A and B are shown apart, each in its own frame.
Chain A
């Protein structure tokens, strides 16, 4: 019951974002939960500061990499279309195996047989990438991890992981986080 209402609320939230076009005929489309997560992913960039060396120029796009399984489908592409982080456009890139030089600004580690979530995170550790993952995977944690609580998609923030990657997370984002693991 709680989950049902939670999902209904999620749907409402996603609808409120206004960019989620629910297309039941399109199998590539995400579930409601991942639609919401996609909406978050599209916006996280606004609330973080990357190290100065992360981008070549002020107009360089923010590359949002999806590693492993892609749960978002074209929902994410639609969401980021026209979205900007400051002056930078957002570009979605799907990568099977992430490497240190993959050029990602934001990484959603979905995990796959080829590269587990932990391995993906390890690959970009200390490289100025905002790492995002679903909670509950093995090994180290991503900077932002999605949590479904009481039927709502929420997230936690690991300040230590952010510090390791030189990412500064806005207090506004922290205020919305379910929990924040402080820097040590």
Chain B
């Protein structure tokens, strides 16, 4: 059994065919053998009786006239029949008259007197005794002894025949079944190969083409789906890991940038008599800081989750027009510098239903896609942005297609294009564009498909679920007042001394009374001291992410001691939490990091 288990499927199938053949043959053989055995003796005794009859007929005259010579002559004719061992004829009075024995047969095989008529088997021989009759006259007896094949001889002969038939059928069955099962075993072997390659981490395996709709085809298609979803899962996992990493980095960078942002802003506002050169430098520095925080914000987008998003009704037609305008510089630039012509076309469906989404994210994704399309056409070509509403079983969808006539992608590129840091643009590309698009698609529960072939251009299709807005959320009006707030007594809590210093500096310049505490526990202690001294704080501005005691705990402690004190939570997550309408308990305001001076002022004024 062990041996059979180790056989390849191909040989197992051959074995099945051969065994089936053999069993069928065995049964057929058994039936034939049984039948012929039961028929054999009857047939044989009939045959020998006929022989005896013929012999008897030739013996009538010799018996009648006592012509022994003629009788012996008739009997001797039996030499030609090797089956007959002996023959004799008896006279009517029962006396032995003439006899014949085959060489090697003892002469005493005959009874002394005529045996009774009949047929019987004995000692592996058949005896037939018949009267010799002429015209109703009983002239004597003829007695014939014939060889009979014993059962074992007969079985042996049948066995030999069966064996011969078996061997012959093997010669037919084995090649035939091998030929027939080659298709089955070949596909299974290919699936097994593919599976082992997947195990080794190659998710780009080529699966055999299913040859029909049998179980193997189902296996192939199921396996294909499994590999696809595994690929998606790994992609997702990779993006998640990147998101985690980038959010960690973003946190650190934001902390580092916070003093820079606040200080440059403050300097630019407060110092009226700066030299123009200093002012230019500071303005440049501020712009760089803003850029960095924007970039960090994008990085952080990888880790955002759906529930963090504030979804609003979005008209994709409007968005497409905006994006085309926003990117105009890029594609008309190329037109001028490279001499290649980019033809930008917009094909918008009328009455496009709105989708629920985050405008900024979709805008950024479309921008990335247009950049990619333009980059894919160094010789120029056509970019088409197309929107359309489609109805599918899963509901009605809105699709945006970005179509280019560029160089296209091969399979490898198509497969890896969403991978973070994968780029075909060399140093020019960050490898994050498509990843962001993918992140946006994931967060919007949308779908993305890429159709591309080398030299045949690329179609990227985003498919959003069309949804009527449940509640139209009016975006809060962030009209920022430049007015400096009234003098407030403020406790600043942060684990980063640089952030503390810069904030203290900036807010002091606005005329506020600032106390700083390094870390959550210190903040709570400072607040308690002030309470006990009868100098309560109007505001507590605390960082969220701090070791040991975080911003939430600080907020809870503060509110526990003084309900009237306003708690401002400062965090890298702040903008998002706010946008989602969530407010942690005991927190009155949420501000993002790095804090913008305007936002701080507005909060303190509120």
Residue B3 interfacial (CB < 8 Å): no
Question: Which listed segment binds A: B66-74, B112-120, B188-196, B254-262?
Answer: B66-74
The answer to whether residues A175 and B61 also contact, given A18-B93, A86-B135 and a CB cut-off of 8 A, is yes
Taken residue by residue from 457 to 486, chain B's Cβ proximity to chain A (1 for < 8 Å, 0 otherwise) reads as: 000000000000000000000000000000
Q: Name A176's contact: one of B68, B70, B93, B135 (CB within 8 Å).
A: B70
CB neighbours of A173 from chain B (8 A) = 61
Residues 27 to 76 of chain B near chain A (Cβ within 8 Å): 57-58, 60-62, 64-68, 70
Whether B65 and A172, one on each chain, are in contact in the complex, defined by CB atoms closer than 8 angstroms, is no
Whether B137 and A18, one on each chain, are in contact in the complex, defined by CB atoms closer than 8 angstroms, is no
Whether A85 and B61, one on each chain, are in contact in the complex, defined by CB atoms closer than 8 angstroms, is no
CB neighbours of B62 from chain A (8 A) = 176
Interface of chain A, helix or strand or loop or mixed?
A: helix
B residues at A contact (CB < 8 Å): 57-58, 60-62, 64-68, 70, 91, 93, 95, 97, 134-137, 139
Considering the chains assembled together, what is the distance between the CA atoms of A16 and B67 in angstroms?
Answer: 9
CB neighbours of B65 from chain A (8 A) = 17, 39-40, 43, 176
Nearest-CB residue, chain A, relative to B95: A18
CB distance from A164 to the nearest CB of B (A): 22
CB neighbours of A14 from chain B (8 A) = 66
Q: Sample 7 A-B pairs with CB under 8 A, ordered by A number.
A: A16-B91, A46-B137, A47-B60, A47-B61, A86-B135, A172-B58, A175-B58
Residue A93 interfacial (CB < 8 Å): no
Considering the chains assembled together, what is the distance between the CA atoms of A17 and B67 in angstroms?
Answer: 9
Q: Name B91's contact: one of A18, A43, A175, A176 (CB within 8 Å).
A: A18
Given A16-B68, A18-B66, A172-B60: 12 more A-B contacts, CB < 8 Å: A13-B66, A17-B66, A39-B66, A46-B64, A47-B61, A47-B64, A86-B137, A170-B135, A172-B61, A175-B61, A176-B65, A176-B70
Q: Name B134's contact: one of A13, A16, A39, A170 (CB within 8 Å).
A: A170
* Max count, chain B CB within 10 A of own CB: residue among A43, A85, A87: A43
Q: Tell me the count of chain A residues lying within 8 A, CB to CB, of chain B.
A: 20
Residues 7 to 62 of chain A near chain B (Cβ within 8 Å): 13-14, 16-18, 39-40, 43, 46-47, 49
CB distance from B527 to the nearest CB of A (A): 147
The answer to whether residues A13 and B135 also contact, given A47-B60, A176-B61 and a CB cut-off of 8 A, is no
CB neighbours of B134 from chain A (8 A) = 46-47, 170, 172
CB distance from A150 to the nearest CB of B (A): 11
CB distance from B59 to the nearest CB of A (A): 9
CB neighbours of B66 from chain A (8 A) = 13-14, 16-18, 39
* Max count, chain A CB within 10 A of own CB: residue among B58, B60, B66, B136: B66
CB neighbours of A87 from chain B (8 A) = 136
Considering the chains assembled together, what is the distance between the CA atoms of A184 and B469 in angstroms?
Answer: 129
Considering the chains assembled together, what is the distance between the CA atoms of A84 and B65 in angstroms?
Answer: 14
Considering the chains assembled together, what is the distance between the CA atoms of A173 and B139 in angstroms?
Answer: 13
CB neighbours of A39 from chain B (8 A) = 65-66
Whether A86 and B136, one on each chain, are in contact in the complex, defined by CB atoms closer than 8 angstroms, is yes
The answer to whether residues A13 and B58 also contact, given A84-B137, A86-B136 and a CB cut-off of 8 A, is no
CB neighbours of B67 from chain A (8 A) = 13, 176
CB distance from B50 to the nearest CB of A (A): 17
CB neighbours of A170 from chain B (8 A) = 60-61, 134-135
CB neighbours of A84 from chain B (8 A) = 137
CB neighbours of B137 from chain A (8 A) = 46, 84-86
CB distance from B275 to the nearest CB of A (A): 157
Considering the chains assembled together, what is the distance between the CA atoms of A16 and B134 in angstroms?
Answer: 19
CB distance from A10 to the nearest CB of B (A): 10
CB distance from B141 to the nearest CB of A (A): 15
CB neighbours of A85 from chain B (8 A) = 135, 137
Considering the chains assembled together, what is the distance between the CA atoms of A17 and B57 in angstroms?
Answer: 19
Considering the chains assembled together, what is the distance between the CA atoms of A18 and B139 in angstroms?
Answer: 13
CB neighbours of A46 from chain B (8 A) = 60, 64, 134-135, 137, 139
